[in-house]
Chain A
Amino acid sequence: MNLAMVGITVLWTFLYGYLLIASIDFGAGFFSCYSMLTGKDHIINRIIDRYLSPVWEVTNVFLIFFIVGLVGFFPETAYYYGTALLIPGSVALILLTIRGSFYAFANYGARKSKFYLLLYGLTGLFIPASLSTVLTISEGGFIEKTGDRLLFRADLLFTSHYSWSVVFLALVSILYISASFLTFYADRANDLQARELLRKYALFWSGPTILASLWVFWELSRHNPEHFSRALSVGWMFVTSFFCFCIGVCLMWKRKNLGIAFIFVMFQFACAFFGYGISHLPYLLYPFITIHTALTNTTMGMALVIAFIAGLLLLIPSIGLLLWLFLFNAGYVRGKK
């Protein structure tokens, strides 16, 4: 594998990590808010609180990691995306900021504030929507280049069917991933009431997730046929993804092995996400940037890979410790300690 491929694989894997843990977080915000409006907050809020409080900062780092890494490996992307994304990027940043601060304030009363809880729930939907526009933009057609000047066509983005299909897919997947995970977590905590409610949410959102995926494919075939044909050539990945989905839903339906059910949800999204990523290559931004034209200086690329490996050696045991303390520790999950 050449350097560019190593770089993009590393980054894509991190983005996948962010997709998973951020989905849990964003979905939890929505469920928190929704259950407050329907008067069921006492059932699930404790579970959500217990899991999310120690890890929210780590979630945030995954995103920063991806962005810093992307600009690092492919500095050219900074110029194009940086110029084009001023407005959507700033909006996402402001929402992330509000949400991040919520966790700090939550322990000291913000969770009791209806206004803040509403913001928390809404940002959980708006952040993924604004972040997913980046994927849409990467398909090309929304940036015009005249001479030295880049023009971002927000109007085209807003009226594009493809754009809306991606946003819709992002939203329903988030709710699906989040509910599946929290069902598992509530089950570990022996909190049957919360488990049942969350299981209902998970099953409810499973259907729209698959429908939205089909819709995105359909729109992609019209928006960027070149990409679509490459996607067909790795079609087996999407088929595998669908099988994983079926197994996950089946287990969830039978209330058996909820942990394994969530692992299948992870596989489902891994297959689809990497299938999408592979077929996107070699373009980082169609048709302006490919991974080859944008690659940083070789010295820097190698150094980044080395730093990355060294960093992982440090991070994996630390994350292991965090999971052991807060996720797989039955005492903590049940709220004894």
Chain B
Amino acid sequence: MDSVLWSRILTAETLAFHIVWATIGVGVPIFICLAEGWGIWRKDPHFILLARRWTRGFVITVAIGVVTGTCIGLMLSLLWPKFMQLAGNVISLPLFMETFAFFFEAIFLGTYLYTWDRFQKPVYHWLTSIPIIIGSSMSAVFITTVNSFMNTPAGFKLSASGRVSHIDLIAAMLNPSTPSEVGHVLSSAYATCGFLLAAIAAWHLLKGKTHVYYKKALHLTMAISFILSLLTFVAGDLSGKFLATWQPAKLAAGEWHFDTRTNAPLVIGGILDEKNLEVKYGLEIPSALSFLATGSIDGKVTGLKEIPRSEWPPLFIHYLFDAMVGIGFYLIFISAAYLAYWLSKKEIIQSRWLLRGIVLAAPLAFLAIEFGWIYAEVGRQPWIITGLMRVDQAATTADNVGMVTLMFSLLYLLLAIVAISVLSRLFRGRPAETELHAVEGRSRT
């Protein structure tokens, strides 16, 4: 295998590993902040304990997010030197600002972690959680603008000799795909963390624990997750419409839509006969693709045949798209079902199926994040910067990328094993009940 393929594998592997922890890093601080704030406001020690316990786990996940983020940050230059040489002129600013946001977050994360009992008024401690949210979300925003730039480059001119000039930084950062991509990344990261934390509470309830602490955790996380999953739906819909205008190849490959036409049907599932480009066994919803892409059922949608075959993305991304959307609907459904159950004042413990459904939602949400990213990235193939630089022109010419890939694979494997074992030991060794006992004893006296 050559350097290009190895570079792609290593980048994909690092990103796939990183986004699990990065998602947690972006979303969980919001829930920690809400729980602590609510606990202080309502003088409810249960919520404060909830924030504390989430924070303890969060430290481990965020550390892995940080170290793998460092890896991908440097790999951009190590594996794709020619890409950085060219694009560095245009994307340096958001990369730089991302580092600042990260810096800001790092400072206040250290402060938040080690000052739980330092301040006279608890609200001061709570205030230090706000910069963490700002820092983590803003670094997601900035880095997403870089990715958007690779999808729809804007804000510069390229001379015949390949040099960049006439740079408009605002136009580069606010390129056409920035709004929909940022919206979708943030809302899905927040929602995924909501389902992750809800699943932990639901798991404990399923295990027969009955303390009101778990129910409070479930109420908080599920109520917010419902709103967030609706937002994700809206952001996803906007992304679809964006793709139809700006990256028709990605949309058409994802939907197996070959002929340009109006009233285009949406195909769900199915098997593709790659020779004749015919879909078998797919579930076809008439005009739905037109509606998805343009907002009206007789809208015209560009088909893949209008695009040169050498610029087609791989067609398997269809399945990833379907899986992502399917999971999105499942998440809306399960959180709505929970809310309905809650509002009808039924005891949640009685519905074990609902609890199981919530536990299942967490891994599914993470899978959806992975599928969504693979769809977005592979859907841009063969370009590293759409229409400008192909992936094989950007990769390093150095040898040994295969060996480096092997080393990093082992590293990620090791990190995953250690992180999971530390996390499980952490919470098994200190069940919430012991701490609840202490907290409740203190508040009564």
Contacts and interface: CB of A to CB of B under 8 A. Distances in A.
Interface of A: 53-55, 57-58, 60-61, 63-65, 67-69, 71-73, 75-76, 78-87, 89-91, 93-94, 96-98, 100-101, 103-105, 107-110, 148-150, 152, 296-297, 299-300, 303-304, 307-308, 311, 314-315, 318-319, 321-322, 325-326, 332, 337
A54 B116 CA distance: 13
Contacts of A57: 63, 66, 106, 109-110
A13 B207 CA distance: 55
Contacts of B79: 82, 86
Interface in B81-110: 81-82, 84-90, 92-93, 95-100, 102-104, 106-110
Contacts of B107: 58, 315, 318-319, 321-322
Interface stretch (B67-75, B238-246, B247-255, B357-365): B67-75
B93 A300 contact: yes
A78 B81 contact: yes
A93 B70 contact: yes
Contacts of A85: 78
Contacts of A67: 73-74, 77
Nearest to A59: B106
Given A79-B85, A307-B93, A61 B102 contact: yes
Nearest to A62: B103
A290 B109 CA distance: 38
B383 to A, nearest CB: 19
B96 A72 contact: yes
Interface residues of B, number: 69
- Nearest first, the 8 A-B pairs at minimum CB distance are A75-B88, A72-B92, A104-B63, A82-B81, A78-B84, A54-B110, A82-B77, A57-B106
Contacts of B422: 104-105, 108-110
Contacts of B400: 86-87
A197 B373 CA distance: 52
A166 to B, nearest CB: 21
B442 interface: no
A271 B404 CA distance: 37
A201 B150 CA distance: 51
A58 B103 contact: yes
B95 to A, nearest CB: 5
B78 A300 contact: no
Interface stretch (B208-216, B306-314, B345-353, B407-415): B407-415
B396 A64 contact: no
A81 B71 contact: no
B74 A93 contact: yes
Contacts of A318: 104, 107-108, 131
Interface in B46-74: 59-60, 62-64, 66-68, 70-71, 73-74
Interface string B106-128: 11111101110110000000000
A319 B107 CA distance: 7
A308 B40 CA distance: 37
A100 B73 contact: no
B397 A150 contact: yes
A97 B67 contact: yes
A97 B414 CA distance: 11
Interface stretch (B163-171, B178-186, B261-269): B163-171
B426 interface: yes
B90 to A, nearest CB: 7
A84 B425 CA distance: 42
Given A67-B77, A79-B82, A97-B411, A86 B404 contact: yes
10 contacts: A57-B109, A65-B99, A67-B73, A71-B77, A72-B92, A89-B78, A105-B60, A307-B100, A311-B97, A314-B104
